[in-house]
Amino acid sequence: MSNAFVSLTDLTLSYGQTVAVPDLNLDVLEGELIALLGPSGCGKTTTMRAIAGLLTPTSGRIVIDGLDVTRTPANKRGIGLVFQSYALFPHLSAFENVAFGLRLLKLPNAQVRARTEAGMATVGLTGFETRKPAEMSGGQQQRLALARSLVMEPKVLLLDEPLSNLDARLRLEMRNELQRVQKDTGITMVFVTHDQSEALALADRIVLMKDGKIEQLGTPAELYAKPATAFAADFMGFENIFRVEGSELVSHLGRLSVGYEAKVHMLAWRPSGVGVGTGPHTGRVISSSFAGGHREYVLNSPLGQIKADAPIETPEVPIGHEVAFDLPMATARSLAA
């Protein structure tokens, strides 16, 4: 990609003899919020650590704002880092936590005060200056950690699973807050997460990783609607994935004739794409859960378990009862291997 602000070229990252990330190539634009997404062990945090300067590459290059920083110490890269644990100083006030890095630079007191107050205002913490971290909520602590990085005016801000310690409601609030701060400041952000809903909600682009490699890269809309592989589809919510042989769907448990011939290798359906109550197939309900606007079913079928969503307005099918279902081609996503 041209005009890359952060560029990783042929980057190989290892722990001893174990290669965690082989030959990674990735460009991040200036002002972009990009998410490194994937399960534990996929290489996303290792990649972030390399960008931060906390891990020396085995080979390859890291360029930030036109400068090769591959061998540059972490404190000379102009990187801000927000940890999963926030790493706040418990004995310091909120103000002094934010001002800490500025004081290390030996800036004049007036400048420290002005930048610290501006940073706290940016994340909505004006009025909390004298509080200790223990006197603040989880969301406020997260904002404090964010302000502490922002006041250093980093070229790139790295965030390592920063929302994982928050409850569901606070996570939603902080998603919105992170997105607002990023758009207001225009800072380039790299956000590490294993939560696809966070990546979809926040990112300009998503880097989905598997085994240290990029499985798929694209906008949230592209990954959500058009996953390219079975791994990407499963990670993005297509929970019913089957091989195709002629007019049959095939799993390791059995086969199901679907009445149409799809000239593709695999087909996948989201639960919302599975028809419940009508269709040519029959399954037994083994699980039924209320989920607000819909009901989530797990059906036992010749293919094994089928996950399906039905509108809450439709009659509930009790556990143990048979129900008709359909796997229509119209709601399927064709996949590579």
The whole-number pLDDT of residue 2 equals 52
Give the torsion sign (CA, 77, 81, 87, 92).
positive
Backbone φ, ψ for residue 330 (5° rounding): -65, -25
Say which residue, 283 or 167, is predicted with more confidence: 283
| Rounded CA separation 67/5 (Å) | 10
**Percent above pLDDT 90 for the chain:** 82
The whole-number pLDDT of residue 1 equals 45
Q: Do 238-335 and 4-228 fall under one CATH topology?
A: no
**210-223 residue pLDDT tens:** 999 999 999 999 99
The whole-number pLDDT of residue 51 equals 97
Structure tokens at 91: 């004995």
| Rounded CA separation 133/196 (Å) | 29
| Rounded CA separation 25/22 (Å) | 9
| Rounded CA separation 191/196 (Å) | 12
CATH of domain 4-228: 3.40.50.300
Residues 219-233: what's their mean pLDDT?
A: 95
The whole-number pLDDT of residue 170 equals 75
Q: How many CB atoms are located within 10 Å of the residue 304 CB?
A: 14
Backbone φ, ψ for residue 47 (5° rounding): -65, -45
The whole-number pLDDT of residue 225 equals 93
Domains of the chain, by residue range, sit at: 4-228, 238-335
**271-320 residue pLDDT tens:** 999 999 999 999 999 999 999 999 999 999 999 999 999 999 999 999 99
Terminal CA-CA length for the chain:
27
**Percent above pLDDT 70 for the chain:** 99
Residues 117-127: what's their mean pLDDT?
A: 91
Q: Going by CATH, does the domain composed of 238-335 fall within 2.40.50.220?
A: no
Asked if the model's pLDDT at residue 48 lies above 90, the reply is: yes
| Rounded CA separation 68/298 (Å) | 52
Asked if the model's pLDDT at residue 119 lies above 50, the reply is: yes
Residues forming a β-bridge with 324: 282
The whole-number pLDDT of residue 164 equals 77
Q: What residue type is 49 in one-letter code?
A: R
The whole-number pLDDT of residue 337 equals 64
**66-86 residue pLDDT tens:** 999 999 999 899 999 988 777
